[in-house]
Amino acid sequence: MKRDYYEVLGINRSADEKTIKKAFRIQARELHPDVNTSDPEAEVKFKEAAEAYEVLSNPESRATYDRYGHDGLKGGGFHDFSQFSFEDIVRSFFGDSFFGEDLFGGRRGPGRGGDAAVAVEINLNEAATGIKKDVSFDAIDRCESCDGTGAAPGASRSTCTACNGHGQVRNVASTAFGQFVRNGPCRECGGAGSTVSEPCPACGGRGVAVKTQSLEVEIPAGIADGQNMRMPGRGSVSEGGGAAGDLYIQVSVKPHETLVRDGSDLIFSLPLTVVDAAIGATVTVPTLEGEEEIEIKPGTQFNEVQVLRGRGMPFLQKRGQGDLKIVMDIMVPRNLSAEQKDLLRQFDESTSARNYSGHEGLLKKIRAAFR
């Protein structure tokens, strides 16, 4: 059973012509097979919307539908859209430039150049301070032999006679909808609008060639492993003279020997003996600026966290820095001799509940340190 046409387009019955057309354009965009690849019913849904649009966009057929419904349209000369392709239906209503570009044959005018990518590896200290790196990558660039003209030395370009220099040709086809006028790239000149009598031997007449390029890139402080940087217009040039593509720098940050990154914070696991944890000690810990002494207070517990504020990684493109969090990893002695075991038993007999008080708040302290 056919659905109500107003429901199909998602509009109310008082919608004007402009609203009807806008609703159909939105559906055509959403149901385009190149965009909506996840829905196998996309094309069927689009043809349903096209049928609704054909009826509701015509004042006479709309009046008939409003009065008699689907039955009133039977035998009225309306099309069975299931027999036509998505492309034909879109072109019948909107032409080739429905989406601001040629739907099925490339953009109007010169196309954009392709993007290029290069990988850069830095260490954690370089990520903390920012650094300039020289990179090399392959991209399409203007041919040096012909300076981008595509013509051999002594030869020149001339206006394409097939398209009269427009780079586009029109083809007229007759269908059940009437005559369709389709624009497409000229086959003779490839959309350039001109041809060469003798192509450049270095680039085959394309005017461009693959070239290894070198560039200094500035990697900002605070960048994280796996983040990409984009440099507009530094990718491949366009063969048709359009805008150049972009260059993407894929940044990887090597793991540090002792420090672990957690967002903008750094974490260091500090190994402590039971004695140092119990009576306190002065120990050395690594930071991004070098080693630094810190005080361990008596009675430090396993997994307790000491925070050095502002000693972590800088925030990317913002002021401030994260923290360095030192997690206490208390080492329990192994391979004890008989004498050592006796000494520990004597120590245990000398302690009382007072020596172990305050443990119930340890978990709260750890959670607070990591917030």
What is the per-residue pLDDT across 2-30, written as a single tens digit (0 to 9) for each?
Answer: 889 999 899 999 999 999 988 888 887 77
Q: What is the pLDDT of residue 335?
A: 94
Percentage of residues in the chain having pLDDT higher than 90:
44
CA separation for the pair 261, 118 (Å, rounded): 24
Number of C-beta neighbours around residue 103 at 10 A: 20
Q: Which of 165, 240, 161 is nearest to 208 (CA)?
A: 240
Answer whether residue 89 is part of any domain.
yes
Answer whether residue 288 is part of any domain.
yes
Give the lowest-confidence range in 49-58, 258-267, 308-317, 339-348: 49-58
Q: Say which CATH number the domain at 77 has.
A: 1.10.287.110
Q: What is the pLDDT of residue 105?
A: 42
Buried b (16+ CB within 10 A) or exposed e, 333-366: eeeeeeeeeeeeeeeeeeeeeeeeeeeeeeeeeb
Q: Which of 250, 222, 226, 263 is nearest to 124 (CA)?
A: 222
Pull the structure tokens for residue 352.
Answer: 């009382």
Buried b (16+ CB within 10 A) or exposed e, 196-216: beebbeebebbbbbeeebeee
Answer whether residue 143 is part of any domain.
no
User: Is pLDDT at 308 greater than 80 in this prediction?
Assistant: yes
CA separation for the pair 265, 206 (Å, rounded): 51
Look at the chain and report how many structural domains it folds into.
Answer: 2
User: Is pLDDT at 175 greater than 60 in this prediction?
Assistant: no
Q: Which of 89, 85, 18, 88 is nearest to 54 (CA)?
A: 89
Q: Are the C-beta atoms of 259 and 268 separated by less than 8 Å?
A: yes
CA separation for the pair 92, 177 (Å, rounded): 7
* Domain endpoint, select from 94, 125, 156: 94
Give the lowest-confidence range in 8-17, 144-153, 310-319: 144-153
* Domain endpoint, select from 50, 77, 94: 94
Q: What are the angstrom distances between the C-alpha of 60 and each of 63, 67, 216?
A: 5, 11, 66
Q: Are the C-beta atoms of 24 and 53 separated by less than 8 Å?
A: yes
Answer whether residue 309 is part of any domain.
yes
Number of C-beta neighbours around residue 325 at 10 A: 20
Q: Are the C-beta atoms of 65 and 56 separated by less than 8 Å?
A: yes
Backbone Cα Rg of the chain: 36
For residues 131-148, give the mean pLDDT.
91
Answer whether residue 64 is part of any domain.
yes
Pull the structure tokens for residue 337.
Answer: 């001799």
Q: What is the pLDDT of residue 309?
A: 95
Q: How many residues does the chain have?
A: 371
Answer whether residue 298 is part of any domain.
yes
User: Is pLDDT at 321 greater than 60 in this prediction?
Assistant: yes
User: Is pLDDT at 138 greater than 50 in this prediction?
Assistant: yes
Number of C-beta neighbours around residue 307 at 10 A: 15
* Domain endpoint, select from 94, 111, 134: 94
Query: Residues 96-131: pLDDT tens digits?
Result: 444 444 444 443 455 688 899 999 999 999 999 999
CA separation for the pair 238, 167 (Å, rounded): 15
pLDDT band at 361 (very low <50, low <70, confident <90, very high): low
CA atoms within 13 A on the CB side of 317: 5
Q: What are the angstrom distances between the C-alpha of 329 and each of 291, 293, 297, 312?
A: 18, 17, 14, 20
Give the lowest-confidence range in 153-167, 218-232, 299-313, 324-338: 153-167
* Better pLDDT: 79 or 317: 317
Q: Say which CATH number the domain at 266 has.
A: 2.60.260.20
pLDDT band at 253 (very low <50, low <70, confident <90, very high): very high
| Largest distance between two CA atoms of the chain | 106
- At residue 341, the 3 state secondary structure works out as helix
> 184 in the Ramachandran plot: left (φ > 0), alpha (ψ -120 to 50) or beta?
beta
Answer whether residue 231 is part of any domain.
no
Answer whether residue 282 is part of any domain.
yes
Q: Are the C-beta atoms of 54 and 60 separated by less than 8 Å?
A: no
User: Is pLDDT at 46 greater than 50 in this prediction?
Assistant: yes
Give the chain's mean pLDDT: 82
Q: What is the pLDDT of residue 315?
A: 93
For residues 243-272, give the mean pLDDT.
94
Most confidently predicted of 81-90, 136-145, 279-288? 279-288
* Better pLDDT: 87 or 301: 301
Domain that residue 355 falls in: 260-370
Q: What is the pLDDT of residue 147?
A: 84
Give the lowest-confidence range in 85-89, 103-107, 213-217, 246-250: 103-107
CA separation for the pair 28, 37 (Å, rounded): 14
**30 Cβ contact partners less than 8 Å away, ≥ 6 residues apart:** 36
Residue with tokens 């086959």: 187
